[in-house]
Each structure stands twice: as C-alpha cells, then as structure tokens.
Amino acid sequence: MKPGAFEYFAPSTVAEAINLLDRYGDEAKIIAGGQSLVPMMNFRLARPEVLIDINRIKELDYIREKGDELLIGALTRERDLESSPLVQERCPILAKAVSFIGHFPIRTRGTIGGSLVHADPSAEIPTAILGLDARMKVVGPSGERTLEPEEFFLSYLTTSLEPSEILVEVKIPALPKKAGWSFVELSRRQGDFAIVGVASVLFMGQGGVCKEARISLGGIASTPIRAGEAEELLAGQILNEALIEKAGQKAAEATDPDSDYHASAEYRRDMARVFVQRGLKEAWNRVKGGQ
C-alpha cells in the first residue's frame, strides 16, 4: 500500500525540531532512518499527520571518544557503528549487536537513536544498551535530561520520552580491555527479528575471577530485561562450565515469555537458556583466548 498524506518538515537544528514537536503534538512523528516507521506508514498502521524529518540535523551524527566514554549522536547510522574502528575497539559488543540488524541497506539508514526510541523489545541495540550502563541524553522544551536504560524503556514500543522530547545522544562507558563480551541471537533467518537475543559482558578481576556479569535479554518480554539472578550467580566467581550452565537455567527461569507465530512460550524460554549459555561461553572464551 502507499502511505497516507502528511505535512512534511525538515528542520536543520534540534531546537527547530522541538518547536515543531511542541506545536503539532500528537499529530507529529519524528522520522530518522525510517526503517521501522515507513513500513508502518506503508501499511497504514501508522498515519502521522505531520512528519518531522531530522536527517538534516547533521550535528547529531557523530561517534566520539571522551575519556573512558563513547559519545554517539542519535542520528549515527547503524552501518557506521558497525564499521567504526572506535566502536570496534572501545565497545565491540555494540558493533556486533548492530551486525544482526536486518540487512546492510537497512543499516545504511537506520540510526541508533531511532532504534532506541522505537523500543522494539526484540531489537538488538536496546538489548545491548541495557547491559552497558549507557545513558541517554534527551532534550525537550524544558531542557535536557539524562536517562538510564531501566528508566528509558517502559514497554512495547514505548519509552519515557515526553511528547516533545528528542533523543540526542547515547553515552556508553568503554569496555575494559580485559572484559569478555558477546552478542548472540536466535532468529529464523539472518536478519529476521530475534526470537531471543542475548548481550553478555564479563568484567574480570584478578586470578580469573568474574567481578561482575551483565546479561541482557531481548525478545523475551515487553522490553529488554536483565537476568539479575544469573548475574549474581556469576559475580565474584571463577567461571566454569557448570556455573555457566546454571546461569543459563536461572536466566530462563526468570522469564515469562509469550507465545507467537515464531516460537511458543516454552520454546522461547528454553532458547533463552541455551543462548545465555552460548553467550556466556563466547564471552568467557574472549577473556581466555583474546578476541
């Protein structure tokens, strides 16, 4: 089908975009990469009366290093995240997660900001971000605020952004060189939506002890979730196969997935177990044998 008619604006600054959002309120929708919005418009599931195209706000497209943090502008294209030497070096889990997003041409247009604000619970970027202490900088008519992932993701396709707010930047602490990491995903075909996706980070201490583990699951709930009990199981421990097996079981036990066309609840839950185990093993291998 073809999309319905709409009024179109292409502001060149954040301030202009916020003014437009403020003016048109409920009728307006921001378009960044459009890789999630335009399909919905083509199906006429979404029919915004006003489209605010932020692709001309070039100042939002950047990847920078500041001390131990990566600062990524919301308009940064997924394709650029994937190939960025800075991201590959300082936050490789993000580059890996992005490589699972759809296909290459989708990643040419899709943006990190768009993916986060769209908040699809199976999406790779939200899943990875949840495990990373990332902070989202958001700007609105009343100023700037910073949100942590748990505050940011509320439910299916819903974030805590106020109607006139725009996500402008994502701040991510760089991963320590010794840290293990992985991003694994189960989908029916390469590029399909994740049935379950797992981001794992292992912060290592001395003597092979895992100081802290992060396990973030996507596709299993109304937002990405952390496997808190599984993380606690690994904290302060020397890793071994049995512990990883148990962590996978614990992570799965804490989930309450729905059934859908692609996977029954039971299958999904079991795959959560399998992929947490695989993800942890891969992250641990990275610790042991280098990348």
Partner 1 sequence: MKIEGKHKFQASQKQIWDLFMDQRHLEKALPGCEKMEEREPGKYDVLLKIGIAAVKGTYRGKMEVVDPEPPKRYRLIGEGSGSPGFVKGEAVIELSQQDQDTIVSYQGEMQVGGLIAGIGQRMIGGIARMMVGQFFKKMEKELKSQQ
Partner 2 sequence: MAEQRRIMVKVNGVGYEREVEPRRLLVDFLRDDLELIGTHVGCEHGFCGACTILLNGRSIRSCLMFAVQADGAEIMTVEGIAGDGKLHPLQEAFQEHHGLQCGFCTPGMLMTSYEFLKENPDPTAEEVRMAMSAVLCRCTGYKQVIDSVMAAAAKMRGK
Site for partner 1, rule CB under 8 A: 29, 37, 40, 43-48, 118-119, 121-122, 155-158, 193, 221-222, 258-262
Contact 212, 199 (CB under 8 A): no
Cβ of residue 109: shortest distance to partner 2, in angstroms?
5
Contact 244, 233 (CB under 8 A): no
Find which of partner 1, partner 2, none residue 156 binds, CB within 5 to 8 Å per kind: partner 1
- Answer for which of 1, 143, 206, 289 binds partner 2 (CB under 8 A) is 1
Instruction: Tell me: does residue 8 bind partner 2 (CB under 8 A).
Output: yes
Whichever of 11 and 180 has its CB closer to partner 2, that residue is 11
Give all strands of the β-sheet with 63-66 in edge-to-edge order.
63-66, 69-73, 166-173, 135-140, 143-147
Q: Which H or E element spans position 283?
A: helix 265-289
Characterize the bridge pairing of strands 50-53 and 28-31. parallel
State the Cα torsion 113-114-120-125 to the nearest 10°.
-40
Pick the piece of the chain touching partner 2 (CB under 8 A) from 38-46, 144-152, 268-276, 279-287. 38-46
- Answer for which of 190, 240, 259, 285 binds partner 2 (CB under 8 A) is 190
Cβ of residue 196: shortest distance to partner 1, in angstroms?
12
Q: Give the number of other CB atoms < 10 A from CB of residue 103.
A: 9
Instruction: Tell me: does residue 109 bind partner 2 (CB under 8 A).
Output: yes
Size of the site for partner 2 (CB under 8 A): 29
Whichever of 77 and 214 has its CB closer to partner 2, that residue is 77
Give all strands of the β-sheet with 50-53 in edge-to-edge order.
7-9, 50-53, 28-31
Which amino acid is located at 275 in the chain?
A: F
d(CA 161, CA 108) in angstroms, rounded, equals 25
What the block records as the tokens of 1 is 């089908």
Residues 43-102 interacting with partner 2 (rule: CB under 8 A) = 43, 51, 53, 55, 79, 102
Instruction: Tell me: does residue 12 bind partner 2 (CB under 8 A).
Output: no
User: Of 219, 210, 209, 214, which is closest to residue 230 (Cα–Cα)?
Assistant: 214
Q: Give the number of other CB atoms < 10 A from CB of residue 212.
A: 15
Whichever of 42 and 158 has its CB closer to partner 2, that residue is 42
Instruction: Tell me: does residue 173 bind partner 2 (CB under 8 A).
Output: no
Find which of partner 2, partner 1, none residue 7 binds, CB within 5 to 8 Å per kind: partner 2
Contacts of 176 (CB under 8 A, 6+ apart): 203, 204
d(CA 219, CA 52) in angstroms, rounded, equals 29
Pick the piece of the chain touching partner 2 (CB under 8 A) from 7-15, 176-184, 264-272, 273-281. 7-15
Instruction: Tell me: does residue 103 bind partner 2 (CB under 8 A).
Output: yes
Find which of partner 1, partner 2, none residue 42 binds, CB within 5 to 8 Å per kind: partner 2
Whichever of 155 and 190 has its CB closer to partner 1, that residue is 155
Instruction: Tell me: does residue 27 bind partner 2 (CB under 8 A).
Output: no
Which chain residues interact with partner 2 by CB under 8 A? 1-8, 10, 34-35, 38-39, 42-43, 51, 53, 55, 79, 102-106, 108-109, 189-191
